[in-house]
Amino acid sequence: KGDDSNDIMSSVLEEMRQEQERLIEEKQIITEDYEKLKLKVADNEVFITEILEEKTQVEEKKQIITEGYEKLKVKVADMEEEKEQYLKEKQIIIDDNQNLISEKDKVIAKLTSQVEEESQNEKQIITDLRAKVFDNELYTTKLMKEKSQLQERVTSLEEQSIKETSSIGLQFNYLIPSMDSLDSSVIIAGQKLFILQGDRSHSLQWEKYGFRLECPQGAVSKDTEVAVTALAGGNFKVPKGTVLVSAVYAISVSKALLKPLVIELQHCVDLRNTSQTGCLKFVRAPLKSPNAYQFSIVEGGSFSVGNRYGSIERDKFCAFGIGHVGNGDTSNGGGNGSENDTQTQDTPNDSSNGAGENSSGGGATPSTSTTPPHDSINDDPSQLVHEVGSHTTDEPTVQQSDHALSDSDGPTATVPSEQCPARNDDESLQSSTDHSTALSDNNAASRDTLYSGIIYYDKKEAGHWKAMYSVVRDLEVLRRHLESKHKSSIEYDDVVDSFKFIQPNRTLELTLHTTQQAGWTVNPTRNPMKLFQSRVEKFPLTPSYATCSVSVYAEIGVTKKPLHCPIELTGIDPPIIIYIDRSPPLLSISQSI
């Protein structure tokens, strides 16, 4: 029994050991499962956290979508309202169109009825007109017969008129000078034609070209044409010791005058005291050979202190100007003859160039001339003179080739002998003593002569200009000629400088004061920049004239501010400072992108 008990205990213990091992294994398995579950729980917690975050984001997006949806609902509602409004307006327009179509049909029907009625009326009118035409043809035949009779009478009266005008001497064959008949050296700056009415006085101003005319009442018996041609230069010859200080004006009238007219011409002499007035004299010249442009001094005339115009009474005309006579010498000199001698040389042939002067015995019949094209001249609109035509040449009529702008030459610049102003024309032969005397007389005139300075610009290309300063005598005719000689692209400054040369140097010096302005470059074309009075005096006897030029460059895209570059002018009275003013060039579309 004891062994059985031991066996039983051993068996029980064995079972218990096995159970224990099983339990240990199960515990191990449970422990491992627990750890796995812990890991899984941790992973689930992370996943739950991520899911919660995503849920939060989804809810936020849902909120945004909900808000957007609400907005869209509002917008759709608005669009629905607009659509309804549009449909209403469309219906209104359709209704209006229907009404317009209905009214149009009514109007068309009415017009059609009127057209048919008018057509019937026109047919009746045509019938009546045909009857009138037949009557008019009969009347025209009668008038033609009467016209033929009147023509015969007019011819008879014209023949009688020619005889009458021959007895009193008609001054010119026609009014406006023919370009071809003038000397090749003549430079025509402008032309103007006026009518003087016979029953009144007239005050005629052509100050754009330095000319005035006073016509007293009773000077003309009937309407009379007055033609004026302003000459800016030419191969003019003046008496010894005389210098032209005005432009030359070719004046003609179509009928003989009953009283003298008063002509006033602009001169360029600065008259400051009465002693100077005695040095100015009117000069006159025929325009045809053998004494073409040979001026002689005219006695009379009036000049006053401070007045840039001289006046004189004349009843016969040709080419007139004003001369400065050295030392007050009023002799004609140089073989030109006295005024009376010159008048006897002004034959009716002189009038063929439109600016001559007939003798009292001339009997030429006035021929009809072609009036130059009309352009507006800013004369006094209150004057009683009726302008029938005027012409200012856009480019002066010069029967020689145009000369490009030239820079100033020195005082030794030469002039062709055929264009030099003669002071005593003895077959163009003068001794050196006479030449020196003439120069001395010219110097005397130069002391009182006024000059004009003009600055202008020629645009070469974008950002490049040529700034030029030219000097001429202070006469409107010369300034107009200088401006009109250039092409239309030239831009002029509005200010014109007036000054005198300081003696004895007689040299205008231009000093460029360059300023540091970003993107701008200013370079003179020559140094020193000087203009000599002797050079200025050669214009317009030669087509070139005294000019200094400066090249101006602007760097596109760099220049921001306008250029204001000073140039000091010395050697003149008063000294002047002029400015080169340019604006920065505009950027092109490609440059601005």
- The mean predicted confidence, pLDDT, of the chain is 76
For residues 393 and 183, give the distance between their C-alpha atoms in angstroms, rounded to a whole number: 18
Q: Which two tokens stand for residue 271?
A: 């008259």
CA distance linking residue 564 with residue 558, whole number of Å: 16
- Mean pLDDT score, 218-223: 86
Q: Evaluate the CA torsion angle 256, 344, 250, 310 in order and state its sign.
A: negative
Residue-wise pLDDT for 159-199, tens only, equals 654 544 443 334 434 444 444 455 667 888 889 988 888 77
Range in 88-102, 112-126, 568-582 the model is least confident about: 112-126
Amino acid at 215: C
Query: At 83, which helix (H) or strand (E)?
Result: helix 2-168
| 3-state per-residue secondary structure call for 216-268 | CCCCCCCCEEEEEEEEEECCCECCCCEEECECEEEEEECCCCCCCEEEEEEEC
pLDDT confidence band for 487 (50 / 70 / 90): low
The residue with greater pLDDT, 504 or 60, is: 60
553/466 Cα distance (integer angstroms): 9
Q: From residue 203, how far is each of 221, 312, 385, 398 by CA, in Å? A: 17, 14, 7, 31
CA-CA distance, 228 to 4, in Å (whole number)?
173
Decide if 552 contacts 585 (C-beta within 8 A).
no
CATH code, 179-398: 2.60.220.30
pLDDT of residue 135: 81
pLDDT tens per residue, range 369-381 = 333 333 333 333 3
Residue 59: in which H helix or E strand, if any? helix 2-168
> What are 92's two structure tokens?
């209104």
Q: What would the DSSP string read from start to end of 299-359?
A: S--B--TT-SEEEEEESS-SEEEEEEEGGG-----TT---HHHHHHH--GGGGGGTS----
- Interatomic CA distance for residues 517 and 554, integer angstroms: 10
Residue 268 makes CB contacts below 8 A (sequence gap 6+) with 245, 246, 308, 449, 450, 451, 473, 474, 475
Neighbours of 302 (CB within 10 A): 15
> Is the separation of the CB atoms in 468 and 457 below 8 Å?
yes
Burial group, residue 88, by CB count within 10 angstroms (0-12, 13-18, 19+): exposed
The highest-level CATH class for domain 417-592 is mainly beta
Q: How far is the C-alpha of 156 from the C-alpha of 136, rounded, in Å?
A: 29
Q: Is residue 503 very low, low, confident or very high in pLDDT (cuts 50, 70, 90)?
A: confident
Q: What are the pLDDT digits (tens) for 247-256? A: 999 998 888 8
Q: What is the pLDDT of residues 141-165, one digit of tens each?
A: 888 888 777 777 767 665 654 544 4
Q: How confident is the model at residue 544, as a pLDDT?
A: 65
Backbone angles phi, psi at 116, to 5 degrees: -65, -40
Give the DSSP H or E segment for 82. Answer: helix 2-168
Q: In sequence order, what E strands does 438-575 have?
A: 451-461, 464-473, 491-492, 497-501, 507-512, 520-524, 529-532, 547-554, 563-570, 572-573
H or E element, residue 204? strand 202-206
HEC assignment per residue over 267-278: ECECCCCHHHHC
Residue type, 397: T
The DSSP letter of residue 199 is T
**Token pair of 382, please?**
């209150």
The β-bridge relationship of strands 451-461 and 202-206 is unpaired
In 3D space, the residue among 559, 554, 560, 578 whose CA is nearest the CA of residue 568 turns out to be 578
DSSP state of 555: -
Contacts of 128 (CB under 8 A, 6+ apart): none
pLDDT tens for residues 278-299? 999 999 998 777 778 899 999 9
Q: Which residue has the higher pLDDT, 24 or 484?
A: 24
Map out the domains of the chain as residue ranges.
1-168, 179-398, 417-592
Give me the phi and psi of 273, to 5 degrees please: -145, 160
Asked if residue 462 lies in contact with residue 554, where contact means CB atoms within 8 angstroms, the answer is: no
530 has a pLDDT exceeding 70 = yes
The CA–CA distances, whole Å, from 546 to 311, 486, 526, 531, 569 equal: 30, 15, 14, 6, 14
Residue 367's closest CA among 196, 231, 260, 252? Answer: 252
Asked whether 585 and 463 are in contact (CB, 8 A), the reply is yes
Q: Are strands 563-570 and 224-233 parallel, antiparallel or unpaired?
A: unpaired
- Give the per-residue pLDDT at 498: 93
Stated pTM of the model: 0.55
* Cα dihedral 382→386→389→391 (10° resolution): -30
- Cα separation of 152 and 533, whole Å? 64
Higher pLDDT, 579 or 445: 579
Residue with tokens 């302003």: 230
Euclidean distance between CA atoms 531 and 407, whole angstroms: 9
Q: Considering only CA atoms, which of 397, 427, 248 is closest in space to residue 321?
A: 248
pLDDT score of 29 more than 50: yes
CA 212 – CA 385 distance, rounded (Å) = 12
The length of the chain in residues reads 593
pLDDT at res. 343: 41
Phi, psi (degrees; rounded to nearest 5) at 231: -105, 120
